[in-house]
Structure 1
Amino acid sequence: MDKVFKTTRQQMKRLRDRGMNVNGSRAKRILEMENYYNLINGYKDLFIDKTYLGPDEKYKSGTDFYELYALYLFDRELRSDFMKYILEIENNVKSVLSHKFSEKYGHDNYLKISNFNTSLRPREQKTQAQKVGEVSELISNLQREISRQLSKNNPMISHSMLEYGYVPLWVLVNTLTLGTISIFYSYMIDVDQNNVGRKFNLRPDEMSSILFILSIYRNACAHDERFYNLKAINKKGRPNSIKTCTIHTSMSIPFDAGGNPICGKNDLFAIIIIFKLMLSKNSFNKFFYLIKAEIDKLQKQLNTITIDEVLQVMGFPTNWTYIKDI
């Protein structure tokens, strides 16, 4: 069936018919400005009465529009706070990676296949030719990025190319996405991966999983996607998880039947664990108090649902604040 356009007043009536308290010009203005689909469909799940068996969905008794709106605003603030510190880590990784790679191979040798790992790792289900093809694709993407930046008249890229005939990696790296950086790192030779990871006290397998997960959450921040309950899933529909570390065990997070912590693997708390591992103590503490303040603020605005229900879908253990003092 076609979707039929509804006025804001009709949308509000529909919400009331489903059991939500929503009235007044302020609610109408919010729906007009924020988009009904983004606001209601994006954040209603915790407020839906799962015991209701009628033909349409029903909200929990007492659900108020402004509770749902508070969750929506909470998510917006989370994106802003998390993005700030993801960018801090991204900048540090780009700086270390470009420095270490250029120190060993020279300023413009990131376009040579021989400087990357084309050997098959254990359990890699691909041929040698496919592995070489993947590295070639990475190099092609780097070349395309140079062309794209030249067409945009990026001053740093243009100056390097016109003055020297090449773009040093430490210049190009600033235009690369975190996703491309994670792919670049994954194809570096083992010893080179170690040299980069050592700066963050991380093994290559830890570093690789962290970069892939960070790129997923960074993209969600950049594109204003729903964030608080986001799970990192790969293209095959499987969890994209960070490696289990001492933080999981120090916080006594329970393990599931598969031997994995039940939270802090591919959820928002996994990003907090990454921050704890990779940010300076000062930066992490600033981030921690920002997030705690947002959670405390939301808690005061909720009546129909509890803050614990919100934290659960975020992947936060009940003792999540303990991470600050680990």
Structure 2
Amino acid sequence: MEKQFSIYSERVEILRKRNMSIDNSSEEKILLNKYNYYNLINGYKDPFLYKGTSPNERYITGTRLSELEALLKFDTSLRLLFLREILKIEEIIKNQIVQSFYHYHLYKEPGNTEIERVNLHRDSEYLRRKYYDLTDLYTVYTNNSYGVVSTTVSFNHPRRNCTRWDRQSTYDNYIATVYRTLGQQRKNKNDSIKSYLEQHGYMPMWILMNVLTFGNVSHLFTLQKRDVQMDIINSLNLNSTPLISDDLSIVNTSRILQILSIYRNICAHNERFYITKIKVPIDDIYMNFGNKLPNTVGPTLGRRLNDSQRKKRLNARQGVYALIFIISLFMNKKELNDFVIEIRNEFKKLEYKLSTIPIDEIERFMGLNFDWFSLIKN
């Protein structure tokens, strides 16, 4: 059915018919004029909807617009909190890719000529395909009855249910993006880009990084030669203990960069954040992620998870908790503790504003309905 535009009074009546509590004399009605109807109602209604059998959508008795507003403000605060940390990581990643790329190709790669090394600061040189690994990579992802996610990596097509990493296409798209971005920056009169290009006629990688998105940078990591990738991983202290293969380290590091990029865009564009689900798997063995999830069971014990336990574990790995885990990899203990306190304070603020549902319901929607703040700090 097509959605028709409804005026203010009609919206009030629609919500009342759906069991929302809106008094004639209430200040709650003002909220419908204060916010975009779609952003407030459709964006934050889910936890307040009646869970029983009903032919039409209806709200839990007592639900007020101010509760939806409180959830919206909670979501906004979380976006700003997480964006702050993602931007810090973005800067770190960009800098390390540049450092590792030049360290390898200037001093370690014997196949590079002296002329190539002299010109490696120019985009006409460092963007050449010879500096990147464009071979196909295949991964097979499994989530077993213990709730353990693992990946098999192959450079040959292993079987039908594999995922192909088409690095040739990734490279082609990356090169097109770089030159399109440079053209846009020059056209938009970005002084730093324009002046450098006009004075020197090329764009060094370390300046280019300032105008590339986190998504572009995550693709750039996947294109690097193995030695460059491992230098990046080692320099960022993303070494798993116990040690895992280089292939698994590279694949999982690519995945966490992808997740950071997705959430970075959500935060930057003010999209709904708190219940976003990201189906990019992180292996349990990577940086001990599996032991930081709820319902961890060692396969050697011979006890499998039931459906409820597996669902809770899956919700944790696909929601905000996975992002908290990734951010924690770039923090020391004090920074992580302070970050966790900030997140929990936002939950406390929201809990004070809720009367229709408990804060536990929000935590369930977010995949945080377990002792996450203790597990993440272990």
TM-score by length of 2: 0.77
Moved more, 211-220 or 17-26: 17-26
> CA offsets, 1:154-212, max 9 Å, x none?
12212321222211111010111000001110111111111111122223222101000
Given the alignment, which residue of 237, 252, 256 partners 1:206? 252
- Classify the secondary structure of the residue corresponding to 2:181: helix
Over alpha carbons, which structure has the higher Rg?
2
TM-superposed deviation, 1:279: 2.6
Aligned to 2:57: 57
Moved more, 115-124 or 300-309: 115-124
Contact preservation (8 Å) 2:170, 2:219: no
Contact preservation (8 Å) 1:248, 1:264: no
Contact preservation (8 Å) 2:136, 2:168: no
Aligned to 1:303: 355
Identity within the alignment, %: 32
TM-score by length of 1: 0.89
Aligned to 1:8: 8
Given the alignment, which residue of 277, 280, 287 partners 1:240? 280
Aligned to 1:160: 196
The question of 1:120 aligning with 2:172 is answered: no
TM-superposed deviation, 1:33: 2.4
TM-superposed deviation, 1:324: 5.5
Amino acid at match of 2:342: L
Aligned to 2:242: none
Mark the CA change 1:71 to 1:247 in structure 2 (over 3 Å): closer, same or farther: same
Contact preservation (8 Å) 2:41, 2:68: yes
Aligned to 2:146: none
TM-superposed deviation, 1:25: 5.9
Gapped regions of structure 2 (runs ≥ 5): 106-119, 138-153, 239-248, 298-304
TM-superposed deviation, 1:124: 6.4
Aligned to 1:217: 263
Contact preservation (8 Å) 2:95, 2:206: yes
TM-superposed deviation, 1:4: 3.0
Partner Cα distance (1:21, 1:78) in 2? 27
Aligned to 1:284: 336
Amino acid at match of 2:361: E
Aligned to 1:235: none
Contact preservation (8 Å) 2:19, 2:60: yes
Aligned pairs, how many?
A: 317
> CA offsets, 1:106-133, max 9 Å, x none?
323431101110122226669x9x6434
Contact preservation (8 Å) 1:254, 1:262: no
Contact preservation (8 Å) 1:253, 1:262: no
Given the alignment, which residue of 210, 233, 246 partners 1:197? 233
Partner Cα distance (1:167, 1:100) in 2? 18
> CA offsets, 1:16-47, max 9 Å, x none?
22111123463233211211111111111111
TM-superposed deviation, 1:5: 2.6
- Higher share of residues assigned strand: 2
- Higher share of residues assigned helix: 1
TM-superposed deviation, 1:74: 0.7
Mark the CA change 1:296 to 1:137 in structure 2 (over 3 Å): closer, same or farther: same
Partner Cα distance (1:38, 1:250) in 2? 33
Mark the CA change 1:283 to 1:158 in structure 2 (over 3 Å): closer, same or farther: farther
Aligned to 1:293: 345
- Classify the secondary structure of the residue corresponding to 1:176: coil
Partner Cα distance (2:201, 2:282) in 1? 40
The question of 1:93 aligning with 2:145 is answered: no
Mark the CA change 1:133 to 1:273 in structure 2 (over 3 Å): closer, same or farther: closer
Partner Cα distance (1:52, 1:209) in 2? 39
Partner Cα distance (1:321, 1:131) in 2? 37
Amino acid at match of 2:36: N
Contact preservation (8 Å) 1:117, 1:188: yes
Gapped regions of structure 1 (runs ≥ 5): 233-238
> CA offsets, 1:40-96, max 9 Å, x none?
111111111121323x21111222221122111111111111111111111111111
Partner Cα distance (1:61, 1:74) in 2? 22
Amino acid at match of 2:104: K
Amino acid at match of 1:103: H
Amino acid at match of 1:94: K
